[in-house]
Amino acid sequence: MKEAYRQESTRTEEDLKIRRLAFIHRVFRVVPVPDARFAQATVRACAARLSAVKLYLIEDDLNIGQALLTVFKDEGHEVVWVRMANDAVERLQAEDFDAVLLDLGLPDGDGNEVLKRLRAAGLTVPVLIITARDGLQDRLKGFDNGADDYLIKPFEIPELLVRLRAILRRSGAHGEAEALWSFGNLALEEKRMRVTLDGLPVMLSKTEYALLLTLMKQSDRVLTRAELEKRVLPFSDGPTLDVHISNLRKKIGDGHIRTVRGVGYMMQRDRAA
Ligand code: CA
């Protein structure tokens, strides 16, 4: 045991990466891999074109989940991995993700139900289904339910990365398209952190900006006070949520943010338009 530990500890990080990669290839049945270094280079070449993103992985298979986690984390991406359908949608409503990787066969439900609920909640986050269900009807159902792409297991990591990059590009989350949120005369350019009203720049505090961005990004639903506080309080220098909302309204006009009594706030499309 001690001997094994010593051997483990003397391995270089590079060796461990190659071993992990070989493991990943075994999991995805991408065999044989005659030269792990070559395979690693292939993965790196594909991943290099993906700028850091935040991914939500819904996958119950421990081997596949661990393998994907390793691939994405090695490349600098942030990954939240859950293994159950339950709570998956709630987490997506509370937190921003650039993309979702969704397995269909989950222990407590069908991934299709997660997808339907997610779309019904108005979430537009790109979803890539990863599943062993390869029938035409399964694929059509996935797209019908709102998937952006469908990848059949076993798949190769480079293909997953390429498809992920494609859905991110289409959604504009990969920085190739400028994220621009607009409501009537109010516009927010996310990349430049710039807000304009009737084309003129509006100076916002960090908290006000975070608040407005959060509201604009999920403009199709009411954001609860708790959700907003969780998002913006890290930027806040003391005042309560209501004070920040009030200050924001003074700067962008009263008509844009609607108070939903007892619940929270949401953007108001009709009056702002
Ligand atoms: Ca599964």
Can you tell me the distance from the alpha carbon of 19 to that of 154, in angstroms, rounded to the nearest whole number?
Answer: 19
- Pair 26, 143 in one domain: yes
Query: Per the omega criterion (within 30 degrees of 0), is the bond before 239 cis?
Result: no
Question: Quick one: pLDDT band at residue 269, thresholds 50, 70, 90?
Answer: confident
**CB-based neighbours (< 5 A) of ligand 1, an ion:** 60, 103, 105
Q: How many of the other CB atoms lie within 10 Å of CB of 13?
A: 7
Given a contact cutoff of 8 angstroms between Cβ atoms, the answer to whether 116 and 92 are in contact is: no
Task: Say yes or no: 44 and 148 in one domain.
Answer: yes
> What is the pTM (predicted TM-score) of this model?
0.54
**pLDDT for residue 37 is more than 80:** no
Is residue 134 located within the same domain as residue 185? no
Q: What angle do CA 262, 263, 264 make, to 5 degrees?
A: 115
pLDDT over 90, % of the chain:
39
Are 165 and 217 in the same domain? no
User: Is the confidence at residue 95, as pLDDT, over 50?
Assistant: yes
Q: What is the pLDDT of residue 271?
A: 47
Mean pLDDT, residues 222-231: 89
Ligand 1 centre distance from Cα of residue 27 (Å): 14
Structural domain ending residue among the three candidates 171, 192, 215: 171
pLDDT of residue 8: 47
What is the domain count for the chain? 2
User: Are residues 141 and 258 both part of a single domain?
Assistant: no
Whether 273 is covered by a domain: the verdict is no
> Which residues make Cβ contacts (< 8 Å) with residue 240, sequence separation at least 6?
none
Tokens of 175: 């920085």
Domain boundary among 171, 188, 210: 171
The predicted model gives 228-248 an average pLDDT of 83
Average pLDDT over residues 54-73: 93
Give the tens place of pLDDT for each residue, 173-216. Answer: 544 445 678 888 888 887 677 888 888 889 998 889 889 999 99
CA of 164 relative to ligand 1 center, distance in Å: 19
Same domain as 78, residue 17: yes
Tell me the CATH number at 220.
1.10.10.10
**Residue 2 token pair:** 């001690």
The token pair at 265 is 């706030």
Residue 148 has pLDDT above 50, yes or no: yes
Supply the pLDDT for residue 225: 92
Q: Do 31 and 123 share a domain, yes or no? A: yes
Instruction: Read off the pLDDT band of 256 (50, 70, 90).
Output: very high
Flag whether 253 is in a domain.
Answer: yes
Decide: 180 and 189 in contact? Cβ < 8 Å. Answer: yes
Measured in Å, residue 61 CA sits from the centre of ligand 1 at 6
Domain's final residue, options 171, 200, 234: 171
Q: Is residue 38 part of a domain?
A: yes
Tell me how far the alpha carbon of residue 128 lies from the centroid of ligand 1, in angstroms. 14
Please give the distance, rounded to the nearest whole angstrom, from the Cα atom of residue 58 to the centre of ligand 1: 9
Query: Do 125 and 206 have their domain in common?
Result: no
- In degrees and rounded to multiples of 5, residue 60 shows phi and psi of -90, -20
Parent domain of 26? 2-171
Whether 128 maps to a domain, the answer reads yes
In sequence order, the 6+-apart residues with CB closer than 8 A to the CB of 52 are 76, 77, 78
Looking at the domain assignment, is residue 272 inside a domain? no
Q: What is the 3-state secondary structure (H, E, C) of 4-51?
A: HHHHHHHCCHHHHHHHHHHHHHHHCCCCCCCCHHHHHHHHHHHHCCCC
What is the CA(230)–ligand 1 centre distance, in A? 32
pLDDT tens per residue across span 206-217: 889 889 999 998
What pLDDT, on the 0 to 100 scale, is given for residue 147? 95
Same domain, 193 and 251: yes
CATH number at 151 reads: 3.40.50.2300
102 and 201 belong to one structural domain: no
Residue 56 lies in a domain: yes
Residues 163, 49: one domain? yes
* Residue 142 belongs to a domain: yes
Average pLDDT over the chain reads 80
Distance 109 CA to ligand 1 centre (A): 10
Q: Which residues of 23-41 are buried (b: 16+ CB within 10 A; e: fewer)?
A: ebbebbebeebeebeebbe
Look at residue 101 and tell me if it is in a domain. Answer: yes
Q: Are residues 73 and 142 in the same domain?
A: yes
Is residue 125 within 8 A of residue 98, CB to CB? The reply is yes
